[in-house]
Structure 1
């Protein structure tokens, strides 16, 4: 019996089988002065400049192209299900990290917020596949090719990429639509998880989305 050839990591996106996932693009992490863990970082810190000047514009382009092509768009944010955070993972309790559902700063900024019935998944772990039903949802939606962008490149994006690959998805990471606190951490992460995905840029992914319209 002859087996079918395996797909390439950079295989063309297929209509109805492609999804876009934005990771942790919420105000508390990407707007200066809101992150309780790093009050020392001002508006000119590398991370905030990267997010403001590169990541957000690139993600807006990805969102526009995905929506125009009818591609499934999903968002995940760090957020507890309860106001006191008793549902959080042990790691988030020890950190401690807690974003209550009533905190307005815990949501995405308007330009990146879910539109219509796009799915928003709260999580209390680094890996979205570990503390949400994302895998179940993607399979129900028929998604086989998952495009990922967000923050931080070396933490929650890294986990999404690796876990998605382990679960059988063809993963694409949009490198210039992700950011970490330093360029070394960003580039190091891309180099480290590059074996689990196709790393490319916003221009290339947006053009592929456009081709599915």
Structure 2
């Protein structure tokens, strides 16, 4: 007899749930650091949305995850070499290159890793394609992967789809993600919503809290 299939929104399981923050780096989030968007001032939609909504929501997710024993991981776009020779062909063509020595490549302080939280550099848009995260998540015993970060229609999208394809139950926290325009954000959620449970910060934080204290 086969076991019934799980629901995408089934309750999180203690010691089997991880929160992954995607690309919350200074270069993308601090005005003036991204050379491709030098014309974006502090009042650009993306900077306002990440500053006023996404980062505060991620801080709430981090606080509840850490208090409840949820595994916390972070990924950043970062080459393994100073000249970027190891990065993907797509990143060479774009071009995207953040050397390991660049402070701009680090997570913004508000949502930076603490303690022994895992920080994973990647050299492609898809973390499952250019890192050992699948191996790590399975070693950690993870079943539920909760995703938040930037950009909704690029690296978040690939994380959700690839995670689902590899057998994880993926949750995307919609109000803890952002894209350069609200239309791109909404269209992305609509496009990849079939691969995950799309939820919000309040709901996910409550689920983290329901898991109880530290491991």
Measured against the shorter chain, the TM-score band is over 0.9
- Identify unmatched segments of 5+ residues in structure 2: none
Aligned counterpart, 1:185: 184
Q: Calculate the aligned-residue CA RMSD, in Å.
A: 0.5
Take 1:110 and 1:182, find their aligned partners in 2: how far apart are those partners? 24
Aligned counterpart, 1:45: 44
Take 1:39 and 1:25, find their aligned partners in 2: how far apart are those partners? 18
Once the two structures are superposed, residues 6-61 of structure 1 have per-residue CA deviations (whole angstroms, 9 ceiling, x without a partner) of 01000000001000000000000011111111101000000000000000000000
Structure 1 residue 96 displacement after superposition: 1.1
The number of residues matched between the two structures is 212
1:175 aligns with 2:145: no
Where in structure 2 are the equivalents of 1:43-122 lying within 5 Å?
43-122=42-121
Take 2:51 and 2:113, find their aligned partners in 1: how far apart are those partners? 19
Aligned counterpart, 1:164: 163
Where in structure 2 are the equivalents of 1:31-42 lying within 5 Å?
31-42=30-41
Match of 2:84, SS?
coil
Aligned counterpart, 2:8: 9
Q: Scaled by the length of structure 1, what TM-score is found? A: 0.99
Structure 1 residue 111 displacement after superposition: 1.4
Aligned counterpart, 2:154: 155
Take 1:3 and 1:97, find their aligned partners in 2: how far apart are those partners? 46
- Identify unmatched segments of 5+ residues in structure 1: none
Structure 1 consecutive aligned stretches of length 4 or more whose deviation exceeds 3 Å: none
Aligned counterpart, 1:127: 126
Aligned counterpart, 1:198: 197
Match of 1:19, SS?
strand
Deviates more, 1:140-149 or 1:105-114: 105-114
